[in-house]
Structure 1
């Protein structure tokens, strides 16, 4: 990968180029700001991207997920010079984290592994990866990959099996899903090219047609006017995408008309603007044609058309003295990188009025990754020799970092993403593309057409122009890039967690030799020590005292250490897709893994067969266990009226007080931020009495409670009469006790002491070494049958431009077709993915 020094040189050159703006454009300072902000974004504060390659796409309980995480500059796709820490998490279908890894990314990558728990719940899972620096983005685009996991126990011969039919796209679909397509009214979304339909002009409009589950539907329809007269027909293809064009008449309403099972459905088309701009982009591969038009008199005068690709400026045109209402330009793609190009038209006031995406594919950027095995077929336990070579279109050798897995064909899925589809497509438009690899395995005209419709119906997700221009890119970061393990936290008043206190902190790490470091906090009481590098967990003690020493109890300091893992509040964009996920190869793959597990159990020397013993006991329900854990945080035990936010759908909306409307007898008046609460029966001779508010046991005002972020709340108890007696006369109006999340859900709040906090700080995860047998050397352990589904996993393949790369591994004792999957990034930032197959015969 390119070094940081090389990147800085390129950045300096680009900044100088971008600073020499067109003289005409300099007459509008807003345009100078736009171009300056874009240059700063691309060269000084670029985003980061993370991609993770796994050895397989589906797993069973107890298996190991072997993976490699790439941490890259989001603009150049070179090794990132910012973060050295990457987080990889396995989430179940409810977005609960069931495994986490914190890895040190040296030279832009890190290898890791996750063992799937034996008690995992079968179904769709997500592998998520990110750096802390990526959490600064206003709209989070974190790496996510669908992982299908099957629960498989040795005492069961049940192997999941699904029956499939073919849907209209030729893809495999379960019978339940087909029934959904036939009975549900389709959802139709409209995407006028550039953003709006404009009266009096010829407009292109994209449509996206899906079922209730979000699956694209292939069908035919037509655009009609308010009289029902057909204007133009349309037809949706892959992913339910369609496009059409027609001249929009003033003061006319239009509808999309579709016939489903003999019933005609009509959908209103967005009303056109009476005056506006139209931006149309046509991609012909070797060049892109951009057409700009308006129905405003002299409307193009003073406008700016700007194009960028991942933040790097590729085109600009300033219209200084134009009396025309249309202009057309042609942009050659021969010198452009591959990826999503973003074209924006700004009016004379600097307001973005029209946008369009287009996917650039420059054939000169293609990479030929050659994977050659010495034979196409092998017997059991024979050596496979591989020769790897990477070349550009001119035959010149390329270097880079790559990873390789050798697995049974049944463990791979057709619709998985690759490093190329993620870096060039999905990561820049929000990670919402269903089956993104479809656009990189074929270059037919049909694929090009669907890809352009995809660009037509999606927007740029990395930034929004208005906030980008107003706020800039040099603002203070909430999350700094991590170069190692950081020990951070905050100091507050001991009797009030929500009152920051400036203090002097002292860190003591107890690992071998004692390490000590002293730092003052900032004005908000924040402190941070590091970066550190260690793999074993260490014990740490943090002391703090006010800069001006005091013996008063009111001046004592409390220390709160941050969690070693970030808390990520992001909706899972893959959820809609993975809820329908079913592996086509489930049955044969599960047979392979079951045979291996049975064999491992049989040959495990630590296993002793015991006689059956029956144990009878009453098991507490999950609800009872959760209530016990929650009640351990209160002084009064369990409350009769309790709200647990994790059990309430859409509980993150509204204010904290809005949640109380769910409890009988509690009245909430007004709307945020002017709300009040009364509990039934809470009154004296003077009239109704408001409740006492407690936050983690500390009395708080109603205004403060209203301002509390709902995601911070774990549960709420409402106490009445005898339940509230513990709080004396203050509780005559009842008690509303709110408890916040502290680290993991349902954890007990630790006891605190003034001026000191101790914690066990986890180090970086120590990745296990993948076991690959060497059958050339006899060994007793080779007597055991070899039913591995992953024959080899090599995460650290470094290919140079001068030396040839050769690898070898051994087959096992299972016949069938095997796939060699190699992914990586070249030294100049080009993503590469390659597949090679061979057979093992008995």
Structure 2
């Protein structure tokens, strides 16, 4: 007979004869973790931007990093990263597809001066990451400020509103703290000593201390505590059977009471200590069999570090882990009971001094003046002073305009901390600002106790029925589509197909589409746009039969609908200090004034009044559609994306909604005339061919009659012009189609613009124009070598003062690098 045990969220089926063998379960855990580490690992992406906030008409310069989520080495799955800029209305206003051959790739977004100021979302992900929760995407908030005059008005309004609010808040009362309790290991257990972390969620209490104490149900005082930075606190308790406990916190003389979680009569605990060089681990149980049959497993991001099966009935043991051989990051420790249920868990953060990488930056000059050429030598080094091969990006910013905030997110805090934890850690840079600082290590350990591991659950990892992963890793650009009979029976069919790239050198491939007409070419690696030709023949390309070209080619959308937009767990890189924002706006206003004066000097014209109107999204879409037609715009246009369920509708269903079009079954007329002329992407088609099409195949439909239809021959009864959906990597402009052939411009990977670096020696424009830059220099792709430093050169501007040099990146061994230094221009 087989017996099934249930505990919490996990189900484990026993082997034959009703006995669950620890060695089988241990083997299963090891196999699952090894598979997760080697082939089922997640991917992580990170985007380094040149600064945290911008004004309209500026550019966002960035470098995207793509790594294996376990080792932080180059991922062997995906070579493609999608980076999107999203406005406050959740519209994607910019999208870049980056090819990442090594570990990083540069990109940029130009902020249109017609955009609305506000908080924009920068999002990055790979196609493979879409199989998991969108919270694993990289997302951070970027503030885009308006013109200086607009912002001055907004600031005055904000100040007035704040003043009014202050007047309203004279009777303000301190809120009751929202407190949560987190016993170490997960549960309070009777007669076992437990450490308990507490967290006050209200941000108002994160920078002040609160005093409290623990009492039992007889009001006996057990333990006192004081909260620290970020609203965190700690106390120790040994619960007694049949007793309950309450935390009392003093708020300005008023006592607020909070019940602690009820203790379990029997169970297991994990207790830890972290002194930096080693981690102490104590495992205890008050079960009758003690720890016999339990399994302890420790892993780091899914890489198995340690396992222990207890064969005796002892009720506790102690283990020391030296950190000298460990990578930096979170260690996840789980204790399983003899039935295979996870009964206690603990997260510990490892900061190994051996892994501390620094970046040496040497200047070629001791004193720097304005408009001087500067050469920097950049050398990442380990703790023994040896050069480390790395991929880096570097931003140099004016500290007066963009003051440095050491507490915000960077590549090190993101990859090692926030990307693996459930819930966001505010000000993560605080914990890394001073390496191996005991105080910060203590606070970070409290963070580990109050957050949970989120990359996987043991239930999902050990489940044999893994969900399908519908989104495949992208290794290049694919051109996909279907081939279909142009004449009866109008079905999808296998045909000869041929793809030709008409670039600097001609590349050609041929294949037979399958029985359903599907063909797939790729993966290809090319950049920008390439003129492309796709051909299809019913028989083969050598046949002279008159019907050989009676084929329609329909292209697929490669990536489909973009992922759903969610603003949860955003990285708050925006500052809230009004003084900082005002400083940035002041510099931006001056830069705008300088540029305006220079343009006026270069070109003096009589006054010209230009009246313009900002185009709506609908107008932009219609312009895009108009560029595909011979007739231009039609006031009788049906767009399938505007109709719910259009994908499953026939063309005749879609035509029913157009005024003046009569539809009876498959018979169509325009205002009582004869049968109209049908066209697909400018190619005449048999009217009955329309029966084989659906809304899934069509982007939009234009109905034309009279003079509007006259641009097409034999159009006395009007024209119904159908336009097929095009793949996301197909330029919709200038798509031309004839029977058996289709030509267009294929969209390749994005090529980043070069950061504008003025030459104050040889440049002409720079001689007569003031040079003020908030980002003095941006270097998106620095590859350091083992035998020599990496050099970069640039010119200082007209700004005197201090500049921040921020370097971020990844070493060839998967260690994230973040370094801050300064330089001064006098």
TM-score of the superposed pair, with normalisation by structure 2: 0.74
Structure 1 partner of 2:455: 462
Shift of the alpha carbon at 1:135?
A: 2.3
389, 399, 406: which one aligns with 2:396: 406
Matched, 1:362 2:355: no
Q: 1:620 to 1:762 in 2, by over 3 A?
A: closer
Q: Equivalent residues in 2 for 1:159-198 (5 A)?
A: 160=155, 183-198=174-189
Shift of the alpha carbon at 1:373?
A: 2.5
- Distance in 1, matches of 2:483 and 2:457, equals 36
Shift of the alpha carbon at 1:214?
A: 11
Shift of the alpha carbon at 1:780?
A: 4.7
Shift of the alpha carbon at 1:30?
A: 1.7
Matched, 1:60 2:52: no
Q: Equivalent residues in 2 for 1:44-55 (5 A)?
A: 44-55=39-50
790, 799, 809: which one aligns with 1:814: 799
Shift of the alpha carbon at 1:285?
A: 0.8
Matched, 1:108 2:99: no
SS at match of 1:599: helix
Shift of the alpha carbon at 1:613?
A: 4.7
Native 8 Å contact 2:409 2:573 kept in 1 = no
SS at match of 1:585: helix
Q: Equivalent residues in 2 for 1:668-817 (5 A)?
A: 697=649, 761-777=746-762, 779-817=764-802
Structure 2 partner of 1:840: 825
Native 8 Å contact 1:125 1:578 kept in 2 = no
Q: 1:374 to 1:760 in 2, by over 3 A?
A: closer
Q: 1:216 to 1:42 in 2, by over 3 A?
A: farther
SS at match of 1:308: strand
- Distance in 2, matches of 1:557 and 1:375, equals 67
Q: 1:480 to 1:614 in 2, by over 3 A?
A: closer
Shift of the alpha carbon at 1:138?
A: 4.8
- Distance in 2, matches of 1:52 and 1:591, equals 27
Q: 1:68 to 1:272 in 2, by over 3 A?
A: same
Matched, 1:477 2:456: no
Q: 1:815 to 1:481 in 2, by over 3 A?
A: same
Shift of the alpha carbon at 1:479?
A: 2.3
Native 8 Å contact 2:79 2:99 kept in 1 = yes
Q: 1:792 to 1:564 in 2, by over 3 A?
A: same
SS at match of 2:779: strand
Q: 1:772 to 1:212 in 2, by over 3 A?
A: closer
Native 8 Å contact 2:294 2:337 kept in 1 = yes
Structure 1 partner of 2:543: none
Q: Equivalent residues in 2 for 1:516-535 (5 A)?
A: 516-518=509-511, 520=513, 528-535=520-527
Q: Equivalent residues in 2 for 1:270-281 (5 A)?
A: 270-281=261-272
- Distance in 1, matches of 2:166 and 2:279, equals 43
Matched, 1:306 2:306: no
Range that drifts further, 238-247 or 500-509: 500-509
Structure 2 partner of 1:72: 67
Q: 1:71 to 1:372 in 2, by over 3 A?
A: same
Matched, 1:240 2:228: no
246, 251, 256: which one aligns with 2:242: 251
Range that drifts further, 568-577 or 380-389: 568-577
SS at match of 1:403: strand
Structure 1 partner of 2:627: none
- Distance in 1, matches of 2:485 and 2:256, equals 63
Native 8 Å contact 1:502 1:521 kept in 2 = yes
Q: 1:819 to 1:621 in 2, by over 3 A?
A: closer
Native 8 Å contact 2:698 2:724 kept in 1 = no
Q: Equivalent residues in 2 for 1:9-28 (5 A)?
A: 28=23
Shift of the alpha carbon at 1:345?
A: 0.8
432, 441, 446: which one aligns with 1:440: 432
Q: 1:156 to 1:816 in 2, by over 3 A?
A: same
Native 8 Å contact 1:431 1:573 kept in 2 = no
- Distance in 2, matches of 1:808 and 1:50, equals 29
- Distance in 1, matches of 2:440 and 2:825, equals 34
Q: Equivalent residues in 2 for 1:194-233 (5 A)?
A: 194-211=185-202, 218-233=209-224
Deviations 1:179-221 (CA, angstroms, capped at 9, x unpaired): 9995544322332222222233222222221238997875333
SS at match of 1:411: coil
- Distance in 2, matches of 1:177 and 1:508, equals 70
SS at match of 2:822: strand
119, 123, 127: which one aligns with 2:122: 127
Native 8 Å contact 1:141 1:430 kept in 2 = no
Native 8 Å contact 1:159 1:591 kept in 2 = no
Structure 1 partner of 2:689: none
- Distance in 1, matches of 2:50 and 2:316, equals 52
Shift of the alpha carbon at 1:813?
A: 0.8
Q: 1:121 to 1:186 in 2, by over 3 A?
A: farther
Native 8 Å contact 1:132 1:566 kept in 2 = no
- Distance in 2, matches of 1:248 and 1:295, equals 12
Deviations 1:421-443 (CA, angstroms, capped at 9, x unpaired): 11211222257221111111024
- Distance in 2, matches of 1:376 and 1:181, equals 55
Deviations 1:720-740 (CA, angstroms, capped at 9, x unpaired): xxxxx9999xxxxxxxxxx99
Native 8 Å contact 1:41 1:311 kept in 2 = yes
Structure 2 partner of 1:394: 384
Deviations 1:90-147 (CA, angstroms, capped at 9, x unpaired): 2334543221111111222101111122133323333222222222335641223332
Matched, 1:267 2:224: no
Q: 1:240 to 1:635 in 2, by over 3 A?
A: farther
SS at match of 1:89: strand
Q: 1:762 to 1:391 in 2, by over 3 A?
A: same
Structure 1 partner of 2:372: 382
Deviations 1:576-618 (CA, angstroms, capped at 9, x unpaired): 957984565111121112211221222237866664759699x
- Distance in 1, matches of 2:231 and 2:150, equals 44
88, 113, 116: which one aligns with 1:118: 113
- Distance in 2, matches of 1:80 and 1:54, equals 21
Structure of higher CA gyration radius = 2
Range that drifts further, 784-793 or 574-583: 574-583
Q: 1:389 to 1:557 in 2, by over 3 A?
A: closer
Unaligned runs of 5+ in 2: 1-19, 160-164, 540-550, 625-632, 652-656, 666-694, 701-720, 726-736
Deviations 1:300-333 (CA, angstroms, capped at 9, x unpaired): 111110111122222111112x211211111111
Cα root mean square deviation, aligned: 4.9
Matched, 1:425 2:422: no
Instruction: Report how many aligned residue pairs link the two structures.
Output: 717
- Distance in 1, matches of 2:805 and 2:519, equals 48
- Distance in 2, matches of 1:826 and 1:615, equals 53
Native 8 Å contact 2:139 2:570 kept in 1 = no
Q: Equivalent residues in 2 for 1:313-392 (5 A)?
A: 313-320=304-311, 322-375=312-365, 377-392=367-382
Shift of the alpha carbon at 1:401?
A: 1.7
Q: Equivalent residues in 2 for 1:485-496 (5 A)?
A: 485-488=477-480
